[in-house]
């Protein structure tokens, strides 16, 4: 009898184990041909803020391609932008005609670099919300990403309790 019960426990154990053990929180990934779009996200915006930006990491496992344009319903206009440092050393955003995705290379759209600019937001981007962003690629065609809105400041967060002395002047 005892043996039988143990057996049952073991069976139940193996049945439930995969469901209970969560897989590592994998970043949202979409695929289109040889392209992989990893972890699309946008920064939350404050009320009254007119523009926002979206980011994604793109792994190109194949031939060179390029993003020709992007479309979204959250804003009136969508542009492809990068940052460029001018002669005075000031970083400015400029529109680019396309975002190059060289063969077998990972290209990252990220704060301070390449990004999808959302101009004329219909309403603020709220943390936790998601919205579709369509990218039109020269060779791979179209892909629609599920963009997650995240809270976050422009500056990397300062770890709590670390070096109070450094706080005051650095911001």
Give CA separation, 160 vs 25, 80, 153, 163, in Å. 24, 35, 15, 9
How far, CA to CA in Å, does 92 sit from each of 10, 109, 114, 152? 62, 16, 12, 20
- Encoded one letter per residue, x for contact with Cu ion by CB under 5 A and - for no contact, window 96-135 reads ---------------------x------------------
Nearer to Cu ion, 43 or 81 (CB): 81
CA-based R_g, the chain, Å: 22
Least distance CB 91 / Cu ion (angstroms): 11
Choice between 117 and 145, CB closer to Cu ion: 117
Report the nearest approach of Cu ion to the CB of residue 95 (Å). 8
Region binding Cu ion by CB under 5 A among candidate stretches 21-29, 86-94, 142-150, 162-170: 86-94
Is the Cβ of residue 93 or residue 127 nearer to Cu ion in the bound state? 93
- By CB under 5 A, residue 81 contacts Cu ion: yes
Rounded Cα–Cα distance for residues 152 and 54 (Å): 13
* Beta-sheet pairing, 141-150 with 35-43: parallel
* Residues binding Cu ion (CB under 5 A): 81, 93, 117
């Amino acid at each position: 009898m005892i043996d039988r019960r143990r057996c049952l426990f073991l069976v139940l154990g193996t049945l439930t184990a995969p469901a209970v053990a969560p897989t590592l929180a994998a970043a949202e990934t979409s695929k289109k041909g040889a392209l992989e779009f990893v972890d699309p996200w946008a920064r939350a915006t404050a009320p009254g803020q007119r523009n926002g930006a979206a980011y994604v990491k793109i792994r190109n496992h194949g031939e060179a391609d390029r993003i020709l344009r992007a479309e979204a319903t959250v804003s009136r206009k969508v542009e492809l932008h990068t940052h460029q440092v001018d002669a005075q050393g000031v970083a400015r955003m400029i529109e680019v005609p396309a975002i190059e995705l060289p063969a077998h290379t990972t290209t990252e759209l990220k704060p301070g670099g390449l990004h999808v600019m959302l101009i004329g937001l219909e309403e603020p981007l709220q943390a936790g919300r998601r919205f579709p962003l369509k990218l039109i690629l020269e060779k791979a065609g179209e892909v629609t990403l599920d963009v997650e809105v995240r809270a976050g400041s422009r500056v990397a967060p300062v770890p709590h309790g670390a070096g109070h002395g450094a706080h005051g002047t650095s911001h």
